[in-house]
Amino acid sequence: MGGVRRRPLALTVALCAAAGACMLPGRALAVSPPQLSVRSAILVDQDTGQPLYGDHANQELPIASTTKLMTALLALEHVRLDQVFTQNDYEPAAVDSQIGLVPGERMSVHDLLLALLLPSADDAAEDLAYNIGHGSVARFIGMMNARARALGLNHTHYSTPAGLDTPGNYSSASDLVKLARYLLAHHPFFARVVALPSAVLRTGDHVRYVISTNDLVGRVPWITGVKTGHTLDAGYVLVGSGHKDGMTLISAVLGTSSESARDANTLTLLNWGFANFHLVTPVRAGSVRARPTVRYRAGVRADVIAARTYRQVVSRSTDLTTRVEVPHQLAGPLRSHAVVGTLLVLADGRTMARIPLLLASALPAVSPLTIAAGFITQPLMLLLLVAVLGIGITVIVRTRIRTRTRARARANRVRREAA
Burial of 183: CB neighbours in 10 Å, binned 0-12, 13-18, 19+: buried
How high is the pLDDT of residue 54?
A: 97
pLDDT under 70: residue ranges of the chain? 1-30, 94-95, 368-382, 385, 419
Number of Cα atoms under 13 Å in the Cβ half of residue 391: 5
Would you name the residues annotated as active-site residues? Answer: 65, 68, 120
Q: Please state, in angstroms and as integers, the Cα–Cα distance from residue 45 to each residue in 25, 68, 236, 412, following that order.
A: 17, 22, 23, 106
User: pLDDT tens digits for 309-359?
Assistant: 999 999 999 999 999 999 999 998 999 999 999 999 999 999 999 999 999
Give residue 412's pLDDT: 76
pLDDT of residue 117: 98
Per-residue three-class SS string for the chain: CCCCECCCCCCCCCEECCCCCEECCCHHHCCCCCCCCECEEEEEECCCCCEEEEECCCCCECCHHHHHHHHHHHHHHHCCCCCEEECCCCCCCCCCCCCCCCCCCEEEHHHHHHHHHCCCCHHHHHHHHHHHCCCCHHHHHHHHHHHHHHCCCCCCECCCCCCCCCCCCEECHHHHHHHHHHHHHHCHHHHHHHCCCEEEECCCCCCEEEECCCCCECCECCEEEEEEEEECCCEEEEEEEEEECCEEEEEEEEEECCHHHHHHHHHHHHHHHHHHEEEEEEECCCCEEECCEECCEEEEECCEEECCCEEEEEECCCCEEEEEECCCEECCCECCCCEEEEEEEEECCEEEEEEEEEECCCECCCCHHHHHHHHHCCHHHHHHHHHHHHHHHHHHHHHHHHHHHHHHHHHHHHHHHHC
Residue 388 pLDDT: 73
Q: pLDDT value at position 250?
A: 98
| Pairing between β-strand 293-294 and β-strand 329-330 as defined by DSSP bridges | parallel
Query: Are the C-beta atoms of 75 and 113 separated by less than 8 Å?
Result: yes
pLDDT given at position 169 = 98
